[in-house]
Amino acid sequence: MAEVVLENVTKRFGATVALDDVSLTVPDGSFVVLLGPTGAGKTTTLRMVSGLDVPDSGEVYIDGRPMKGLQPAERNVAMVFQQYSLYPHLTVRQNLEFPLKSPLLKTPKAAIERKVREVAEVLQIAHKLENKATALSGGEMQRVSIGRALVRDPRIFLMDEPLSSLDAKLRADLRIELKRIQAKSGATLLYVTHDQIEAMTMATHVGVLNEGRLVQFGSPREVYEEPVSIYAATRLGQPRINVLPADLFAGAPAGAKSIGLRPEHIAQGEGEEALVKRVEHLGDQTRLHLTFKRHDLITVTDAHTPLRGGETIRIQPSRPLFFDAAGLRLV
Amino acid sequence: MAQIRIQNVRKEFGAFTAVRSSTFTIEDGEFFMLLGPSGCGKTTTLRMMAGLELPTSGEIFIDGEEVGMKPASQRDIAFVFQMFALYPHMNVRKNISYPLVSQGMKREEVNARVADVARILRIEHLLDKPVGGLSGGDRQRVALGRAIVRRPKAFFMDEPLGALDAEFREHMAEELRALHDRMGATTVYVTHDQLEAMQMGDKIVVMNHGVVEQFGKPQQIYDWPATKFVAQFIGSPSMNFLDFEGMIGIGGDSVELGGAKVHVPAAREGRAGRLTLGVRPEHVTFRDDAPYRGRVSAVEYLGTTQIVTLSTEHGDVKARISSGQAVREEELVGLDFDARTLSLFDAENGKVLISEGNEGVLAHG
């Protein structure tokens, strides 16, 4: 396994700057998730590491070695895409063996057998080894395509939204499974998604991308609790953080333009009055849509709250975050 | 506006029964969700209400009038599909006014109605734009406008947000609900997304294999599911099921689970044999001296809360606890289940046993 470093990487496609001076270290054995909306530069970053694309400027290092001029095949990286591409006429075993049978590698037969067995067990598809790839469910197929990356012992795994085409239940299972595989094997993973749940639950480090720039890099807890900007704060948390004018509540520090309040960081019972516009019972919690001094905000409360639309409650910030006019966090 | 009543409605397509004997009532002004996995019969049910399919048997009443065999055009309803079809060669105003103009309505009235709809949907600034250049959201708004402008008795929507990405869907869901609150029109909405159903619906019907599994208010269905299917379909992560051999008698308020005594709401019916204890993740707490034990196998950080997966002798159990609480993988912990919230199911037929907790919700059937 390996450490991957991007140093001042810039990439343009015509007039669009896809990556703007991105510097990033993926530590050895880490699970780094790049999070951002479409067009933020997530996939381009992956392609820089894999060698499917080359930077206009800047450098990519794997284990200290510059990758300039090296083809994807020479970098020893493994990619897993959203769309699993298996050989339909081959069995699961043959699909898994395939990367090892490359004439370049000359892997001995016994080693192939052992490796396939190992990976199949980790992915819990050992009982399906002799099945045709087409006879598998969607989740099993995606596990096989992950398995095909795993058998190779690459220096880094690059994954581009590998779970996004699966249904919710399966996605939840595979999130846990992927994280377990990564922790167990000590693999280094660079993973791209726009799903904040995946980022929060799996990552050791989250990289928040915005329009080609890396705006924050840290543990999920750091990004959630100590976001560097309004943008970073809105990337994690469901419902989204409320961003309001700072002077709406007393006590804003000098220079504060906005106050950010996560829905769970609004204390109820004291403070000033807000009107309950709508009560949404989601089962495990209830969301209150409030109007406060002509601004809309959302807070969460007890699942069985007796509150109804039209009533008023008193609210005050409990753990406010303040931002300046440029949207940067004031600490 | 309208009350819609579905009575013993059944629909067969050849040898396949899409809907078997559905009965429920949608009250005037309700935002009503038909929820279930694909193939459960929810869209077929909606299409029968709309008159796009005719029921094999049963009756459909709109405002007391039996309309089961009437074509869609005679039911005074509006249908909004997932794929919003607009006339590409017309501008926004013409798209919205088309249903009225084709009815032969006078021009002044058409103009007044279109202006009204544009105001409700906040698209006044778009009226003279061609539809070609509009964003996905604005196209959806125009499609809604075309439905609203006729002032139908009811709106029927079939996964209208299904094609949108998650962030935008959340936004449009809020907008749709707010629109409903402004207009108060009876709305029937089909979705397979349980969160969308919980979030937007006044009432929910949960369907599976053509059968209505449960019908009620979102919180009631969440708290007191009638079947294991409903319990698992609603909520994320879904309700934990612990399967065991055991028994409970009328008035009994505990069961033996792997040697540990677990308190449950007092039973109103008795059962012995294969049972399933149902526990929502937020009702599992850790207590060192609790007799029921589990080993932590995964921890998922979610901001304020975390989901902890534990292996127990009855399978995996997920707990939703504060992320302030430190949890280590492989750690052995005692598990407490909040007794007032538990459901017991008959594992054979998947039906919940009636108890002190759920009788108020389920007694009426």
Task: Decide which of B334 and A169 is more confident.
Answer: B334
Q: Give yes or no: residues B353 and B250 share one domain.
A: yes
Q: Do B280 and A172 touch (CB under 8 A)?
A: no
CA-CA-CA-CA dihedral for B333, B338, B342, B344, to nearest 10: 50
Question: Among all residues of chain A, which has the CA nearest to that of B223?
Answer: A283
Q: What is the CATH number of the domain that holds B208?
A: 3.40.50.300
Q: Give yes or no: residues B80 and B111 share one domain.
A: yes
Task: Answer whether B204's CB lies under 8 Å from B37's CB.
Answer: no
Of the three residues B223, B247, B273, the one that is the final residue of a domain is B223
**pLDDT digits 0-9 by tens, B49-59:** 999 999 999 99
Q: How confident is the model at residue B83 (pLDDT cuts 50, 70, 90)?
A: low
**pLDDT digits 0-9 by tens, A72-92:** 989 999 998 887 778 989 999
**pLDDT digits 0-9 by tens, A278-311:** 999 999 999 999 999 999 999 999 999 999 999 9
Q: Give CA–CA dist A81/A141, Å, rounded.
A: 12
Q: Roughly how many angstroms between the first and final C-alpha of chain A, as a whole number?
A: 37
From A229-238, A300-309, B131-140, the region with the lowest mean pLDDT: B131-140
Q: Give CA–CA dist B34/B213, Å, rounded.
A: 11
Task: Answer whether A216's CB lies under 8 Å from A228's CB.
Answer: yes
- B326 to chain A, any CB pair closer than 8 A? The answer is no
B320 phi and psi, to 5 degrees?
-105, 115
Task: Answer whether B242's CB lies under 8 Å from B279's CB.
Answer: yes
- B195 to chain A, any CB pair closer than 8 A? The answer is yes
Write down the pLDDT at residue B242. 97
At position B167, the amino acid (one-letter code) is E
Whole-model pTM over 0.90: no
Q: Give CA–CA dist B113/A26, Å, rounded.
A: 59
Write down the pLDDT at residue A34. 97
Res B168 pLDDT > 80: no
Expressed as residue numbers, the domain containing B47 is 4-223
Q: Do A176 and B298 touch (CB under 8 A)?
A: yes
Res B222 pLDDT > 90: yes
Q: Give CA–CA dist A82/A100, Å, rounded.
A: 22
Q: Which of A176, A200, A304 sits opposite B301 (nearest CB)?
A: A200
Q: What is the CATH number of the domain that holds B294?
A: 2.40.50.140
In a domain, B228, yes or no: no
Q: How far is A196 from chain B (nearest CA, A)?
A: 9
Tokens representing residue B186 in the block: 């009876």
Domains and CATH numbers, chain A: 4-235 (3.40.50.300), 242-330 (2.40.50.140)
What number of C-beta contacts closer than 8 Å exist between A and B?
68
Q: Give yes or no: residues B171 and B291 share one domain.
A: no
Question: By percentage, how much of chain B surpasses pLDDT 70?
Answer: 98
Is the ipTM of this structure higher than 0.90? Answer: no
Q: Give CA–CA dist A20/A11, Å, rounded.
A: 7
Write down the pLDDT at residue A1. 63
Q: Give yes or no: residues B122 and B42 share one domain.
A: yes
**pLDDT digits 0-9 by tens, B2-24:** 899 999 999 999 999 999 989 99
For chain A, the average pLDDT equals 92
In a domain, B135, yes or no: yes
Interface of B with A in 261-300 (CB under 8 A): 280-282, 298, 300
Q: Give yes or no: residues B175 and B255 share one domain.
A: no
DSSP A91: B
Give the sheet arrangement for strand B284-286, strand by strand. B284-286, B332-337, B293-301, B305-312, B315-322
Res B84 pLDDT > 80: no
Of the three residues B200, B223, B246, the one that is the final residue of a domain is B223
Res B148 pLDDT > 80: yes
Write down the pLDDT at residue A92. 94
Of the three residues B223, B245, B279, the one that is the final residue of a domain is B223
Q: Give yes or no: residues B146 and B33 share one domain.
A: yes
Q: What is the mean pLDDT of residues A137-153?
A: 85
Q: Give CA–CA dist B40/B61, Å, rounded.
A: 22
Res A42 pLDDT > 90: yes
Closest CA to A148 of A180, A174, A112, A186: A112
At position A159, the amino acid (one-letter code) is M
Q: Do A176 and B195 touch (CB under 8 A)?
A: no
Interface test with A, best of B194, B198, B320, B338 (most A CBs within 10 A): B198
- B304 to chain A, any CB pair closer than 8 A? The answer is yes
| B304: chain A residues, CB-CB within 8 Å | 262, 264
Q: Do B235 and A224 touch (CB under 8 A)?
A: no
Write down the pLDDT at residue B365. 47
Q: Give yes or no: residues B171 and B213 share one domain.
A: yes
Task: Decide which of B176 and B162 is more confident.
Answer: B176
Q: Which of B199, B219, B303 sits opposite A200 (nearest CB)?
A: B303
Closest CA to B60 of B40, B38, B75: B75
For chain B, the average pLDDT equals 92
**pLDDT digits 0-9 by tens, A15-24:** 999 999 999 9
Q: Which of A172, A221, A303 sits opposite B301 (nearest CB)?
A: A221
Res A140 pLDDT > 60: yes
Interface test with A, best of B300, B330, B361 (most A CBs within 10 A): B300
Cα dist. B140→A8, A117, B97, B154, B167 in Å? Answer: 42, 50, 16, 18, 15
Question: Among all residues of chain A, which has the CA nearest to that of B235?
Answer: A283
At residue B40's C-alpha, the angle toward residues B7 and B217, to 5°, is 60
Q: What is the mean pLDDT of residues B108-125?
A: 90
Q: What is the mean pLDDT of residues B32-37?
A: 95
Q: Give yes or no: residues B64 and B99 share one domain.
A: yes
In a domain, B231, yes or no: no
Non-local CB neighbours of A144 within 8 Å, separated by 6+ positions: A84, A86, A92, A95, A96, A123, A125, A133, A136
Tokens representing residue B132 in the block: 């070609």
Res B175 pLDDT > 90: no
Tokens representing residue A105 in the block: 């590698």
Number of Cβ atoms within 10 Å of the Cβ of B240: 24
Q: Give yes or no: residues B252 and B185 share one domain.
A: no
Write down the pLDDT at residue B364. 55
| B167: chain A residues, CB-CB within 8 Å | 37
Q: Do B177 and A221 touch (CB under 8 A)?
A: no
| A232: chain B residues, CB-CB within 8 Å | none
Q: Compute the half-sphere exposure of residue B259: CA atoms within 13 Å on the CB side of its CA.
A: 6
In a domain, B133, yes or no: yes
Q: Which of A180, A264, A280 sits opposite B304 (nearest CB)?
A: A264
Question: Among all residues of chain A, which has the CA nearest to that of B220?
Answer: A283
* Furthest C-alpha separation in chain B: 78
Q: Do A180 and B298 touch (CB under 8 A)?
A: yes
Q: Give CA–CA dist A48/A30, Å, rounded.
A: 18
Q: Give yes or no: residues B282 and B218 share one domain.
A: no
In a domain, B173, yes or no: yes
Q: How confident is the model at residue B248 (pLDDT cuts 50, 70, 90)?
A: very high
Non-local CB neighbours of A205 within 8 Å, separated by 6+ positions: A26, A27, A30, A31, A32, A33, A217, A218, A219
In a domain, B230, yes or no: no
Task: Answer whether B104's CB lies under 8 Å from B96's CB.
Answer: no
**pLDDT digits 0-9 by tens, A7-41:** 999 999 999 999 999 999 999 999 999 999 888 99
